[in-house]
Amino acid sequence: MDSPDARSSDAQYIEVWNDLISTRDLIGSLLICAGTTALGLLAAHLLSSSAFFWGLGGSVLGFVISVFAFTPKRDVRLIKSDEVGHD
C-alpha cells in the first residue's frame, strides 16, 4: 500500500487512535449517521414512540450505510513466517 503522502494530493488525512483516516470519509460518515438518527427521532415523534430506540436504530442504520459507502484504504498482506528474510 502506498503511504497517504504518495496518494492523491487532495486527500487529507488526520490521525485518530494511532491510525490515519480520510477527513472526507469521516465527515461523510458523521453526516450520514446524524441524518439517519434525526430521521429515527422524527419517526419516534410522529409515532409517539420511544425516542431512545428509534434514535438508536437510526444511528445503527447510519453506521451500516457508512460501512458500505466508504471502503477501507488499507492493504493488508499476510506472509508466512518462513518467507520472512532473517538477517
> Does residue 79 lie in a domain region?
no
> Does residue 6 lie in a domain region?
no
What mean pLDDT is predicted for residues 19-40? Answer: 93
Q: Would you state the cell numbers that stand for residue 62, as one nine-digit string?
A: 447510519
Q: Print the domain residue range for 62.
A: 13-72
What mean pLDDT is predicted for residues 6-35? Answer: 82
**Number of domain units in the chain:** 1
Under DSSP, the state recorded for 1 is -
Can you give the three-state secondary structure of 6-54, one letter per residue? CCCCCCCEEEECCEEEEHHHHHHHHHHHHHHHHHHHHHHHHHCCCHHHH
> Does residue 78 lie in a domain region?
no
Q: Tens digits of per-residue pLDDT, 69-81?
A: 988 777 778 888 7
What mean pLDDT is predicted for residues 30-35? Answer: 97
Under DSSP, the state recorded for 9 is T
User: Which residues make beta-bridge pairs with 22?
Assistant: 13
pLDDT range class, residue 87, cuts 50, 70, 90: low
pLDDT value at residue 42: 96
The answer to whether 15 and 4 are in contact (CB under 8 A) is no
Is the overall model pTM greater than 0.75, yes or no? Answer: no
pLDDT at 6 over 70: no
> Does residue 55 lie in a domain region?
yes
> Does residue 21 lie in a domain region?
yes
Pairwise pLDDT comparison (3 vs 70), residue with the higher score: 70
